[in-house]
Structures are given as structure tokens and as C-alpha cells.
Amino acid sequence: MGIIFKGNLTGALCKDCKEPLLGSVIRFYRVDNINSDILSHVAADPKETIRILDEKEIKVKSKLLVAEAKIDENGDYSTVIKGNEQYDGPLTIDIVTHRVYQQKSKDRDPIQFTITTVQPRWTQDDQDNLIFNWKYCIQSRFWCHIRELFDAWVICGRLLNCKEKNTPIPGITVIAMDDDWITDDTLGSAVTDGSGHFRIDYTSSDFKKTFLSPVINVETPFPPFNSGPDVYFKLELAGTPIAFEKPSDKRNNVGPCLCVQLCLDTIDIPDVPIPASFTHFGRTRKIGIQSEINSANGKTQRTGFEGYAFYGSVFMIGSLTKRLNNQPMEYLFEYQKVATPTTPLSASGWLPVKNNMIPETVIGNLITLTSDPMNPVVKEPVYINPVGTGKTEVTYNGDWIKVPQNANFEAHQDAEILRINTNLIDTRPDIDMSAPTATIGSATTATNPRRQNEYVAIRMKQREENNPASEVVAGTSKAIALFNVRYDNVNKHGSWAPSTASNQVAAVSVDIDEILSGSTGCNKITEDLNVRYTARHENLGSVALSIVGPKKPGQNFSFPAISLMSEPETFGTTQLQFTPSGQSVKDLLPCAYTITLSATVKLTTGDGEPGPINDFISFCKS
């Protein structure tokens, strides 16, 4: 048998916002002398009896302590007193607060306050325990005063659709600002939840910043020194600012608990204060158009990603603005081929990137509020050359792309603003690799001439709509290496099962001398195995041979590493290496084996690279 004290304690911040008393302890005290004052307290509303105790009062009542319990993150508490002792009189309930919920300020001495005196209503469980269950929510006026003593300031609010008052807007970042005469302070930020609620915790140091902070923090202007912040709010959606309140909309000198209901009727995206620009290649790699391009060869020069040429469709990464010189803006991209990466660019050598050279590209979004509580904010992409129907498309002014002027248009920032199909810049024909299988393992450029990397610089221009005089360059790349040539009629599977393949990223072929010397391609291997290989591409990354087949216990075999030769191809003949070293081909088990030649190429779109290009050949060991 025992006595159980349990329940839940919270503190109100406002009507629909409360918090658990995490960081506090609840204490139950006996009442020493029951008199008329005590009885009046038992009958009184806790709002009338709650007060902070001084050290003397705390010391006097310490000997009357019956039980205490810590309050958890849900506001729940529970403690058990073992034994048969019972107490039927009234109990005084105090709270000792060490920290308040989500406190950001430094610790301070605990504060003890008394809430009320109650006559417990005991219940009994099936184990004969006596239970006193007491729940209470401390009124906001008193609890916010306690929070202020801990320098714990809070904003609790909700963001709703003004036109649909019951529709919350989730996923919006709410930023609380303090309007100050020197510089506005950011108090904090939070993202609205599924019901539109948000909570921002801060301290007085967040709004008492000066040019001498953190040495001297005071709220300005002077005086008073003990005023609260003057709060207004900014909104963002996934990092994009939304036009909302201005400093003139501030709430003056707010207290430690501010409860607000904000509403938004339309999405208005203010233009960004930075100019439009073209800065990188590729959404994933984000290769700098100047700093990460090697001036000597036009290839990438990023640590861990060096020596790559470009191919395929490449995203141009940068930022757009809706207006230039306060006028609607339009932009275009141009390219210029050069003989070498170091060839100076010509002022008259630029060609426009035509509409047909641009695959589907998203350059921003139209953001709209809806009345659907399950989907309150809709982002509708805006496309260049959309695939399919029902998509919002930009308009052109010749080769110039008009930036949408819709108030709710969110222009891309540090994201794709164009995509160029570089196959329409490098338009050279494929290389015909037609040759007898006997040529595998030998040089091919004499009979199948090479086509080297092309070099092209790319730039972005912007201007006021229909105003050529306002044209400015918004970013020019170094000349980049470009290679879109494919290989046709490439030998595959050597003399074993001869065939050819076309439209290959690289020419990769493998054969075996001992099969090549036969008439059917089915010669069995007995004592010798000489493997021929050829891998050709202007930007080879690696070439390797591997073999799959059974092994004797303790036996191991593989091909030696292949070192790359001068561009554009690596070729030769090699043999298996065995462990132990005294073994040879004749020690292979009589079975079937497959040899694979694999090559990689250093090409990138800025978002991906081609996978390995392979060829294989099988043989039987007799």
C-alpha cells in the first residue's frame, strides 16, 4: 500500500497556446495550523492564491513537505510514498521552477511559488494505493511573469489564409523581427506546422543588440532600458521571401509572451535585391564557370572531380530577377566556339542559343494559396519548352526569354535558369570504327581518324524588355571542352561471337589471340591466353580487364592494371597473372570463363556521368 500523487501541469501563454512545466518540480506540503485563512484558501480560486515565495517562507514550510515529483516534457508527474501513513487534511501545492520550457537564456536561481491549498479527493486502486490526481494550467499572466524572470521570451502564433479563415498555412517560415532605430534585430524563426501554428523562443539579448554587442546590450532608443521589442514579421517559403509586414506594422513594446494570429491572402514575391547572374554548370555538380574550369584544356579542375569534359544537355545555373532598372527583364544565352581553350573570345563571334536548343527547363514557380487545408500552398512550375500539355510556359521576344512578371512568380535563385542541348553545338558526325577483329589490340586512328574535343564559351545577357541599349553581360564562362561524338560499328565479343554496335559512348573491344587464330572462334584454350584490348575515347578515365570463372583451392588469377596511353586510345595485349606465381593457364580448371573489358570516360553534364562501357568474350579451358 502507498500514496500516489500524479497529474499534469501546464502554463498558458495565450488562449490556444500552452506549454508543459518541464524543468519544474511540484511539491505537496501538509498544512500545520488549520484556521479560517487556510479554509478560505481551500475554497479560493488558484488565480487568487498563486504567488512567489521568499526564502524565509520556503524554509519555514520545508519540514511540512509530504512529496515532490519532477514534471516531464508532457507536463505529467507521478510519485509514490510507500507505507501506511495517511494524511486526511488539506495540502498546499507549490512549484519550484529551475528552467522553463525551451528556455534559451542562461540558468538562474530557482523560483518557488505556491499555487493553492486543496482538500484532496482520494481514490483507491486495486492494489489499495491511495491516489490523488491533480491537473492544473497556470494562467498566462502569472506564468509569463515567471518566464520573464528567467529571461525566456516567446511568440506563439498561427498563420491562416485570410480569405479562408479556417484554412491554416503550413510549411511557411515565420521570422520575428525587432524594429530598432540602429538596425533591426532578428528574434528568431519557426516553420508553421500542419495547423498553421508556430512558436519562436528568444531572450532579451536578441532585441537589445547594439553596435557594441555583446559587450553592451540595450534596447534602443534610450530610454527606457527595460522595454520589450517592437515586433513585426517576415515570411519565407523554402527560402523565398514573401511580401508581408513592414517595420511600420510593428507591435510596440511587447511583453515576454506574444500571441498573434497572422493571415495571408495572396502570395506576393518581392524581387531579390541582387542582379541576375550565370555562375555554374549542372544542378548537382555546380561547377563554377570560371574558377573550376581549367584554362589550359577546358576541363573541370575541382579536387576529386578533375579532367572532365562536358556532353549532352547541361543545366546553366544562376539567378533571375523579374526586373532590371525597375523595368521588366528578359535574358538570353549565347555561345562561341574557339579553336583552343586559350583562344581569345571575339566580340562578334557570339551566337544565340536558339529555342530549339533548349530542352524542358523550369526557371521558377507561381505560388498560390488555395482553400484546400490538405494542400494550402501550390507551386506551379514555369517552363521553357515544356513537354506535354497544361504547363505554364514563358514567352519569347525573338531569342530573348521574358521573365514572368506575375506578383506570385518565384524566380530561381542559384538554380537552373536554362538548359542547353550541346549536341546542337557539337554537331560533328560519329566516328566509323569499321575494322576486322584482327585489329583489336592495335592503334585505330590511322584508319579511323579521331575527332578531338571542341571548345565553347557560354555567356548570359540580360536587358530591359525591348531595350537593346540596356543589355549587360551577366556571366561568361571559360571555354569548356565539349565532346558529343559517338562511335559506330564497334567490334564486340571478338572472334568468339563477332558482332558490331553503334552509337557507343566509347569504342571498347576485346579478343583472344588463341581464338582469333582459329577458324570458328571456338578454339579451346590449353596452355596460352593472350588477351587483346582496345578502348578509345578523347576523354578516357580508366581501362580494366577482369575474368570470371572457377578457381582451384588457394588459386587466384587476374589481369595486371592497364595504364592509360596518350589520347585518344589505350590498346595492347596482356596475360593472366597467377597466385601462386608458379602457375599458368594450363593450371586453370577445365571449364568456361568470361573476360570483360571495361572503360570509363571523363564526361559530365554537371549532373551525371556515363556508366562503364563494356565488352566481353568467353572461352573454354580444356
Do 31 and 108 belong together in one domain?
yes
Cis amide bond preceding 468, omega within 30 = no
Q: What are the cell numbers at 60?
A: 519555514
Do 564 and 512 belong together in one domain?
yes
Amino acid at 221: P
Do 305 and 351 belong together in one domain?
yes
Do 163 and 203 belong together in one domain?
yes
Q: Is residue 272 part of a domain?
A: no
Distance CA 418, CA 395 (A): 14
Asked if residue 594 lies in contact with residue 546, where contact means CB atoms within 8 angstroms, the answer is no
Asked if residue 543 lies in contact with residue 570, where contact means CB atoms within 8 angstroms, the answer is yes
Q: Is residue 174 part of a domain?
A: yes
Instruction: Write down the pTM of the prediction.
Output: 0.80
Q: Is residue 396 part of a domain?
A: yes
Please identify, among 242, 264, 286, the residue that sits at the C-terminal boundary of a domain: 264
Cβ density class 357-395: b for 16+ within 10 Å, e for less:
bbeebbbbbbbebeeebeebbebeebbbebeeeeebebe
Q: Is residue 213 part of a domain?
A: yes
Kindly report, residue by residue over 573-589, the tens digit of the pLDDT. Answer: 999 999 888 899 999 99
Kindly report, residue by residue over 1-54, the tens digit of the pLDDT. Answer: 789 999 999 999 988 899 999 999 999 999 887 665 555 555 457 888 999 999
The CATH number given to whatever domain includes residue 536 is 2.60.40
Please identify, among 432, 451, 482, the residue that sits at the C-terminal boundary of a domain: 482
pLDDT the model gives residue 223 = 43
Do 295 and 380 belong together in one domain?
yes
Do 258 and 322 belong together in one domain?
no
Do 519 and 599 belong together in one domain?
yes
Kindly report, residue by residue over 507-538, the tens digit of the pLDDT. Answer: 999 999 988 765 555 778 888 999 999 999 99
Distance CA 572, CA 562 (A): 9
Do 452 and 362 belong together in one domain?
yes
Supply the DSSP string of 536-570, one letter for each residue.
Answer: E-TTEEEEEEEEE----TT-EEEPPP----STTEE
Kindly report, residue by residue over 477-504, the tens digit of the pLDDT. Answer: 999 999 999 999 999 999 999 999 999 9
User: Which structural domain range is residue 105 located in?
Assistant: 2-140
pLDDT the model gives residue 220 = 46
Asked if residue 564 lies in contact with residue 540, where contact means CB atoms within 8 angstroms, the answer is yes
Query: Over pLDDT 90: what percentage of the chain?
Result: 80
Cβ density class 59-80: b for 16+ within 10 Å, e for less:
eebeeeebbebbbeeebbbebe
Do 441 and 495 belong together in one domain?
no
Q: Is residue 145 part of a domain?
A: no
Asked if residue 383 lies in contact with residue 360, where contact means CB atoms within 8 angstroms, the answer is yes
Q: Is residue 159 part of a domain?
A: yes
Please identify, among 441, 460, 482, the residue that sits at the C-terminal boundary of a domain: 482
Look at phi and psi of residue 204 and say left if phi exceeds 0, alpha if psi is from -120 to 50, else beta: alpha
Distance CA 304, CA 288 (A): 14
Do 477 and 492 belong together in one domain?
no
pLDDT the model gives residue 296 = 97
Per the DSSP assignment, residues forming a β-bridge with 201 are: 154
70: helix, strand or coil: strand
Kindly report, residue by residue over 183-220, the tens digit of the pLDDT. Answer: 899 999 999 998 999 999 999 999 886 545 455 555 44
Distance CA 471, CA 398 (A): 15
Asked if residue 603 lies in contact with residue 573, where contact means CB atoms within 8 angstroms, the answer is no
Domains: count for the chain: 4
The CATH number given to whatever domain includes residue 256 is 2.60.40.1120
Q: Is residue 426 part of a domain?
A: yes
Average pLDDT, the chain: 92
Q: Is residue 195 part of a domain?
A: yes
Cβ within 8 Å of residue 229, ≥6 positions away: 153, 178, 179, 185, 187, 206, 207, 219, 253, 254
Distance CA 392, CA 396 (A): 13
Overall average pLDDT of the 332-352 stretch: 97
Do 583 and 497 belong together in one domain?
yes
pLDDT class of 87 with cuts at 50, 70, 90? low
CA atoms within 13 A on the CB side of 466: 0
Do 328 and 455 belong together in one domain?
yes
Kindly report, residue by residue over 105-151, the tens digit of the pLDDT. Answer: 999 999 999 999 999 999 988 888 899 999 999 999 999 999 999 99
